[in-house]
Chains A and B, each alone.
Chain A
Amino acid sequence: MNAGEEIRHALVFENASSGRVLLLLLALILAWWWYRRGLLHSRSTTRRLLLMSLRGVNLLLLAGLLLGPVLEKRQLARLTPRLVLLVDASASMNIATGQGPSRLQRVQDWLQENLQTAAAGSGLSWQLYSFDSQVAPAGSKSLRPPGNGQGSDILGALEEVVRQVPAGGGGELSAIVLVSDGADTGVLGGITGHQEVPEWLTRRLHSLGVVVNTVAVGAGEEFVDLSLGDIEFDPFAFVRNAVEIAVTVRAVGTGKLTVPVTLTRQGRVLDTSQVTVRPGRSGRAVLRFVPDEVGKFVFRVSLPQVAGDAIPGNNVRSFVTRVVRDKTRVLHVVGRPSWDVRFLRELLRRDQSIDLVSFYILRTTIDAPGVGEGELSLIPFPVSKLFGSELDTFDLVILQNFNHGPYSVGLYLGEIADYVRRGGALCMIGGDLSFAAGGYSGTVLEQVLPVRLQAGNDLRPEEFRPVPLADNALHPVLAVGREDAWQHLPSLGSYNRAAGLADTATSLLVHPFDRVAGGRAPLLAVRQVDRGRSAALLTDGSWRWRLAAASNPDSGRVYQRFWNNLIRWLIRDPAMEPLSLRADTPQVSAGRPIRLRLASSSLRAGPLELRLRNLDDGSLREASSLEVSGGQSELSLPPQPPGAYLVEVVKKPSGRVLAREVVVVEAADLEQRHAEPRADLLEMLARQTGGRFSSLEDARLEPGRLTMVQHTRLVARVAHPLLARGWLLGLLIALWALEWLLRRRWGYA
């Protein structure tokens, strides 16, 4: 016998197969049982026992004759153990604690030393793999895990390796050596090595069929990390409705801590909450805020850094939420009931998306109802509430033929102007109590109107039909149906003659002949005022467009469409924007391009520029010319570092922003949140699979330091039948004959 060989003996049955043996045993038991039943009435116990013993021996001999027992001598050759070295290449391996090298660097040093030893005649055959969320083969000589993987699926990697290795040939796997920090982001992440191993995990580990030796990286390091875990947020929120964001905070390697969790938007602190966390456990904080404007915004949750914080990057996370309206809240203030009021009220009331709050002046200070207040249905005009504390709850304020003077609203004109600049919307509708006739000339409210006002009474009684200003005929507010719809509407009976158009305002409908400074007298003008919008409809006769629908079918639903358009434009409904920019996904992984879709409707915008700005530091990252030809187009911006970004489509050379979108580029977030070394998990894996656990410092790729299965190859085989068939057959016949004779003699049937 040579070295590396061994002899093994084994009892085998030549004719046996599991099914056949089972059937045979069943038949023998039945036969013996039947035979015993027939002897139960025997008076002589001695004779009965003798006969039963004889029959039992006979049956066993018969079984031996049929199965053919053989003593086998095998000469086996021991195979070179085939092992897989599986090294963690995820991003958590790049973490360094203190001033020392990173986990990955330590692994690479260890590999350099141990792979040389392993290659220098340890008698082991190695196959090298790295893994993160997937498994990658790495040849057989060297292994340089990249350490940037966006996940660590240890169990998945073990199962994948077992699947891959037999396909490579070379016999069965003797063992796997897993080198990892144990910071699993897969199914093992929630399992601690000290608890009872779940049944499903035991089953999956046993089904691997291979021993797993585990080598823990960073097991002894003093890992200190305060991190944000899961953030529960809704991608949609309703404006002026409280929003709750639940944040999980985790501390590792610290004592009991109480830290502030802060929610910010564009640097503005929205809420702060104190959370207490105990070492190795999670704390939960709930942050609340009330969004005050619609749109898509980047919110940031942050924690302070603790001393020695290994991963400062996981103390901050950003997310995108779109703030939408549940209902458009409209304040409708009217100076006098009129037909214009009646038809606009009907439109507003019928719109299920509008929450209407109305205040009409039914009696002025000089009117005398002639009865006491108790016989009137009139209520006080809550000026300070509406234009003070409640003003920001409205999406749109409509002042319809309303003179502010008699009701002390003049005290709040500054509030209304600020409300518009902050993002609110204002629509002033004409009449003999509005614009200059309503005393707004020279007020702070005039500064946010789209028109400049005359002094004194500006009302002009005159029948005329307004016309769209050609340059702005495609403005979405004027999209009421047919292009010539405005020509078929009935004439208006009066208008408030403005002094001119305000800077940055856009005139949409104008008087057909009357000219004021800067062009034709505006009848409808709109304006973007800082973050808000305003509109001026300088007539009280738009109701004619509604009732006229009865006499002129061409008018159709112009009145309804016009007001719907104007309201939606004022409240910045994205559908009313000439350009819309949408990111494919609001959260983009680092290293991936930012993909967007640009949709334009009948735009004659001229030269445009696409700009990408970092919201964290305000820096301009990209700026490129853009061609818009209507319809939809796809845009792609190069990968960006982690952070929050604003993408804008800007009109050149004015710099006016036509569309914007926000995106968050996420870091290797999952890996950063699960970066704690998990020696307990690795120890449990080794225990469950029969392998050996060791720290990186103690681990060696040598046979004596690893647990493995020694696989062998059969060199020679010698079989010695235990029962010669000839004499076995003779003995069987003789015993049968003896049994038969005894039965005859003792009188059994």
Chain B
Amino acid sequence: MVAVMLFLAGWARAQPADQRVVFGLLPCAGANFDRPGGIRQLVWELVKRTSVEADADARPVDPADPQLFRTPFLLWSCPGPVATLSERQVAGLAAFLKNGGFLWADDPSASGTGPFADSLRQQLQRVLPGQQWRNVPVEHVLYKTFFLIKRPLGRRAGAPRQALVIDERLVVLFTGGDLLGAMSRDLTGQWDFNCQPAGEVQREESFRLAINIVMYSLCLDYKNDRVHLPFIMRRRRL
């Protein structure tokens, strides 16, 4: 595993920045992001399974910093509440989202409710006032951007998946089932958490969903192009 990490770090340095997905981490109020192993494993699987290149290390970003716009994929996941944003941070994050940026919010509590989810909704209400959370139905292109997903899961099944949408584009995706927790692995290669109730099958499904989320941020509705539809329809029926 150490060798894998070293490979990823060295490989990432060799790639040009504009070809890599770099996860930008938004700030938490108390304890900081605690799923770095989930990100590393996601990147490992992403690079192994797809043509996408990604950076194994998430990068903390300040929504008020112009550097925010160098990391179009933001991740907000905190053990407790998210940080309360300043007005400048609110303005910066709003501009980022309206102009093409993507934010994935993953709830480590795997409940879809609680301090993280509540504070997240509160802060995003300031960022995108008036926007309503919508459920993401299983027919959405998100579930076919790479894998054909029938049961979107996480560490715990049954949690909500909701989104804020601008011009039919998901700009914020909230996964309540702790996807990163399902993918999180320590340096010795052990999974940090068990997946409930379906175990390893559920973990695999979680990887697939996480990869689809990254693919959606990069390709948007590519898999809704009419050239893909006959193939996807046929495979869905299988």
Interface residues of A (CB under 8 A from B): 335-343, 345-346, 349, 356-364, 367-371, 373-379, 401, 431-432, 459, 461, 490, 492-494, 539-541, 543-544, 546-552
Contacts and interface: CB of A to CB of B under 8 A. Distances in A.
B228 interface: yes
21 contacts: A336-B52, A337-B50, A338-B19, A339-B218, A345-B219, A362-B52, A367-B51, A369-B146, A376-B148, A377-B145, A377-B146, A379-B228, A431-B19, A432-B15, A459-B16, A461-B16, A546-B100, A548-B69, A549-B99, A550-B69, A550-B99
Interface stretch (B115-123, B155-163, B230-238): B230-238
A432 B16 contact: yes
A709 to B, nearest CB: 80
B231 A540 contact: no
A362 B51 CA distance: 5
Contacts of B218: 337-339, 341-342
Nearest to A539: B18
A583 to B, nearest CB: 41
Given A371-B147, A431-B18, A544 B70 contact: yes
A493 B96 CA distance: 19
B100 A432 contact: no
Given A336-B51, A337-B52, A379 B17 contact: no
A541 B18 contact: yes
Contacts of B148: 374-377
Contacts of B232: 377
B49 A550 contact: no
Given A375-B148, A540-B18, A541-B18, A343 B100 contact: yes
A361 B222 CA distance: 12
Lowest 4 CB-CB distances: which A-B pairs, in order?
A550-B95, A550-B99, A337-B218, A494-B16
Contact of A346 (B52, B215, B220): B220
Contacts of A336: 19, 51-53
B184 interface: no
Contacts of B146: 362-363, 369, 376-378
A377 B66 contact: no
B51 A461 contact: no
A362 B16 contact: no
A341 B52 CA distance: 12
B147 A376 contact: yes
B147 A349 contact: no
A433 to B, nearest CB: 8
Contact of B147 (A343, A377, A379, A547): A377
B141 to A, nearest CB: 9
A660 B23 CA distance: 52
A367 B48 contact: yes
B35 interface: no
Interface string B6-23: 000000000111110000
Contacts of A543: 18, 72
Contact of A377 (B18, B144, B221): B144
Contacts of A343: 100
Interface in B39-71: 48-53, 66, 68-70
A544 to B, nearest CB: 7
Interface centre among B50, B222, B227 (most CB of A within 10 A): B222
A339 B215 CA distance: 11
A390 B231 CA distance: 20
A15 to B, nearest CB: 95
Nearest to A433: B19
A579 to B, nearest CB: 36
Contacts of B51: 335-337, 361-364, 367
Given A358-B222, A544-B70, A363 B19 contact: no
Interface string B92-132: 10011011110000000000000000000000000000000
A745 B70 CA distance: 135
Nearest to B228: A379
Contacts of A361: 51
A378 B144 CA distance: 9
Contacts of B139: none
Given A342-B217, A547-B69, A367 B49 contact: yes
Contacts of B66: 551-552
Contacts of B98: 550
A274 B44 CA distance: 68
A539 B99 CA distance: 21
B100 A377 contact: no
Given A544-B70, A550-B96, A550-B99, 20 more contacts: A340-B18, A345-B220, A346-B220, A349-B220, A358-B227, A359-B227, A363-B49, A367-B50, A369-B49, A369-B146, A373-B235, A431-B18, A432-B19, A490-B69, A492-B18, A493-B18, A494-B18, A541-B18, A549-B99, A550-B101
A493 B16 CA distance: 7
Contacts of B17: 461, 493-494
Nearest to A364: B51
Given A368-B48, A369-B50, A342 B219 contact: yes
A343 B222 CA distance: 12
Nearest to B226: A357
A368 B145 CA distance: 16
B16 A540 contact: yes
Interface centre among A337, A361, A374, A492 (most CB of B within 10 A): A337
B49 A370 contact: yes
Contacts of B100: 342-343, 346, 546-547, 550
A339 B145 contact: no
A615 to B, nearest CB: 41
B39 to A, nearest CB: 18
Contacts of A493: 16-18
Contacts of A546: 99-100
Contacts of A373: 235
A198 B17 CA distance: 84
A375 B147 CA distance: 6
Given A362-B51, A547-B100, A374 B219 contact: no
A546 B222 CA distance: 19
Contacts of B92: 551
A547 B72 contact: yes
Nearest to B53: A336
Given A360-B219, A376-B147, A548-B69, A368 B18 contact: no
A354 to B, nearest CB: 13
A367 B54 CA distance: 14
Contacts of A378: 146
Contacts of B169: 346
A550 B72 CA distance: 12
B19 A401 contact: yes
Contacts of A377: 144-148, 223, 228, 231-232, 235
B135 to A, nearest CB: 21
A496 to B, nearest CB: 10
B18 A363 contact: no
Contacts of B147: 369, 371, 375-377
A374 B215 CA distance: 18
B16 A358 contact: no
Contacts of A356: 225
Given A367-B51, A371-B147, A550-B95, A349 B219 contact: no
Contacts of B231: 377, 379
Contacts of B52: 336-337, 362
Contacts of A337: 50-52, 215, 218-219
Contacts of A375: 147-148, 235
A226 B222 CA distance: 58
B124 to A, nearest CB: 17
A167 B187 CA distance: 115
A339 B50 CA distance: 15
A378 B101 CA distance: 25
Given A362-B215, A376-B147, A551-B68, A357 B227 contact: yes
A339 B18 contact: yes
B91 to A, nearest CB: 10
A538 to B, nearest CB: 12
Contacts of A367: 48-51
